[in-house]
Structure 1
Amino acid sequence: MDGRTEVGGLVTANPVWVGSSELTMTREGLIACVDAGAGAVVAKSVNESAAARRQLDIADYAFVSGDGRVRPAGSARPGDGLLNRSGLAQVDLDDWLDILAAGAGHGAARGCPVIGSITLADAGAAARIGRAMAEVVPAVELNIGAPHGREASAVRQLTEVDAVHDAVRTVRAAVDVPLFVKLPGQASDVVALARAARSAGADAVGLVGRYPGFLPDLEGGAALGSWGAWSSPGCLPMSLYWVGKTYAALDVPLIGTNGARTVTDVLRFLAAGARAVEVVTALWIGGPAVLTGLVAGVRAYLGGGAEEFVGSALARTRSYADVPPVRPPAWLPYTARWSGR
């Protein structure tokens, strides 16, 4: 297996991708991720809003252990959750296109596409930015699932079918390279949002954006001193739920995100139906070198069976109505302890 993965018309070196974050906000960051072996790298998002760029000035990061201890940036450990505030890249579009072009050129020589990303504010402006990006990168991500959209008007999180369809259709009309649409997990029916994005022209759908988060410190304040965006290993089953449900319902290539830290996590995303998996927090904790181990582990496990493995978990997954009674009842040992038996 050479590891190549095709997603929505884009061929990538392998299914382990780097998601958009401050780690992919510079030419050096993009190149470091490419050189560490990523299958593809999604650059930090931009949009037309000066307020979204100013929001980066208040960016902050709290890493939270499984027992609730808060660690500052630089002291995180594997398994920690991440609560943060963030903003968009603080650079003019022309300068950003130069950075993207440099990263894309470096990646192309190594089979690793560098993907431009737009976090939605105004759909018309996103279309104009997407058209410019398509001149220098092989694919564009439209992020309409940013959790910060619930806190800052400079970005938007879309959770209604019609709004998703209209935004994607507007950007699709302007972009002549593969268009990937990243959706929120915080919606009543994410499958319906994916269907709307696909019908409006999305070549692939990313599932799912991080969740809103809040962590009081019990001393009259809260971690970060504000609301934030949350990701942790505990988010993994929630993200996999929507990946599996969407894979079962729609014919659309899927990109998994939110919760993958280990080789097993990546494989679970693939088994649920994703064709590629974005990682971010693992790189905050361990640096780009984390990618080398992830790629090697996924390749070793899959051997030559990557295509067959995608969605394989769905073959024996049943709806509640089709699950036979559990005998003896699974709850019996728990209630027996309370009854003294």
Structure 2
Amino acid sequence: MDIPGGPATANPVWVGSSELTMTPDGLRACIDAGAGAVVAKSVNESAAARRQLDIADYAFVSPGGEVRPPGVAQRGDGLLNRSGLAQPTLDEWLAMLAGAVAYGAARGCPVLGSITLGDPAAAARIGGAMAEVVPAVELNIGAPHGREASAVRQLTEADAVGAAVRAVRATVDVPLLVKLPGQASDVVALASAARSAGADGIGLVGRYPGFLPDLDGGAVLGSWGAWGSPACLPMSLYWVSKTRLALGPDVPLIGTNGARNAADVLRFLASGAGAVEIVTALWTDGPRVVAELVEGVLSYLDTRGLDLAGFVGSAVRRARGYPDIAPVRPPAWLRYSGPSGR
């Protein structure tokens, strides 16, 4: 997916914003791994959001419920974490970004800036400064930590989304991508509001608020946190596909939350996303996983003679609404009514 009005991207596997993209070494590692684009760690105006990084913690949860530390995590694990934002001053951060942008540009990999919303006016000021350095800006208004910490905000109402995006759009003269939460009554309405307010592309969806008792009288991480896992994939794809239907194929969508392998990336693409941000798979397997996913996606398309642009949204084009589905004879529920069939 090419960023509208911005640089071309070599492939649809992007690296999302996280602690893995918070340092020059981390950004270079993701670029060298062959990512289509890399989103740097988010910043905002809040000192409290920066201090929150000092209490960051991470727990990986296996499909069977085993809680594992990062060193022994496996690809299929879910991630429950508590995090904060990048801690350098804005001037220091922009200087670091400028170096990463130049490094990525020489290797065909755009490096994007990211702002996690706190105060919209402050986000607009940061966005204006960031736009002088990066080829595109991601505005994250879907951070689940916004439900736990006042230093960041999670917007779930269309009017608030529209107001925040308009404020940032007024100062950002490069492509603006808006990342939305998955926990809202109508994510499609949020996407429509963001698009109407000037977003060039929509990211779907942020991770969910999470809580997990440790069964020893406390809680994993000792607090609430943010949750993403392979089990979130169908939930993420629901909103990607519905947004594709509502906004049409001309609005670029970036999928996130649930992709761990090439098949997951392909499912995002078939649901209407033009690119997919990967984070947790890099925590478990390192940046080398990017090349694996790129190869898997391109190989699948090549062996079937499929064009990437044509494949994007292909499942949505074939999906039908409930009223359009013909009755099944005999009714399917008979096959699932118990061993006796009754």
TM bucket by the smaller chain? over 0.9
Query: Separation in 2 of the partners of 1:331 and 1:125?
Result: 54
2:181 counterpart residue number: 184
Are 2:235 and 1:238 aligned? yes
Corresponding residue for residue 60 of structure 1: 57
Which residue is equivalent to 2:36?
39
Q: Is the 8 A contact 1:7 1:276 kept in 2?
A: no
Report the Cα offset of residue 138 of structure 1. Answer: 0.2
TM-score by length of 1: 0.97
For these two proteins, the number of residue pairs brought into alignment is 336
Tell whether 2:310 aligns with 1:294.
no
Contact residue 3 and residue 175 of structure 2 kept, 8 A = no
SS in 2 for 1:8: coil
- What letter matches 1:263 in structure 2? A
User: How far is 1:315 from its partner?
Assistant: 1.8
| More deviation, 20-29/8-17 | 8-17
For the 8 Å contact 2:334–2:341, the answer to whether it is kept is no
Return structure 1 stretches of 4+ with deviation > 4 angstroms.
none
1:8 pairs with 4, 9, 15, which one? 4
Residue deviations 1:143-179, cap 9 Å, x none?
0000000000000000000000000000000000000
Report the counterpart of residue 315 of structure 2 in structure 1: 313
Q: For structure 1, list consecutive stretches of 5 or more residues without a partner in the other structure.
A: none
Provide the residue aligned with 2:281 in structure 1: 282
Cα distance in 2 for residues equivalent to 1:281 and 1:30: 15
2:93 to 96, 99, 103: 96
Letter in 2 for 1:210: R
* Secondary structure, counterpart of 1:6 in structure 2: coil
SS, match of residue 276 in structure 2: strand
Q: 2:165 aligns with which of 154, 164, 168?
A: 168
Contact 2:335 2:341 in 1 (8 A): no
Residue equivalent to 1:140: 137
**CA deviation map 1:182-237 (0-9, x unaligned):** 00000000000000000000000000000011111122111111101000000000
Residues 137, 340 of structure 1: CA spacing in aligned structure 2 closer, same or farther, 3 A cutoff?
closer
> Contact 2:203 / 2:253 at 8 angstroms: preserved in 1?
yes
Question: 1:38-93 CA distances to partner (integer Å, 9 max, x unpaired)?
Answer: 00000000000000000001100000001111001211012000000000001100
Report the secondary structure of 1:105's partner residue: helix
Specify the alignment match of 2:111 in structure 1: 114
The aligned residue for residue 28 of structure 1 is 25
Q: CA RMSD in A?
A: 1.1
| Percentage identity across paired residues of the two chains | 76
Q: Which moved more, 1:316-325 or 1:274-283?
A: 316-325
**Residue number in structure 2 paired with 1:323:** 325
Deviates more, 1:271-280 or 1:302-311: 302-311
Partners of 1:79 and 1:154 in 2: how far apart? 31
Q: Does 1:268 align with 2:262?
A: no
Secondary structure of the corresponding residue to residue 266 of structure 2: helix
Structure 2's unaligned 5+ residue stretches are none
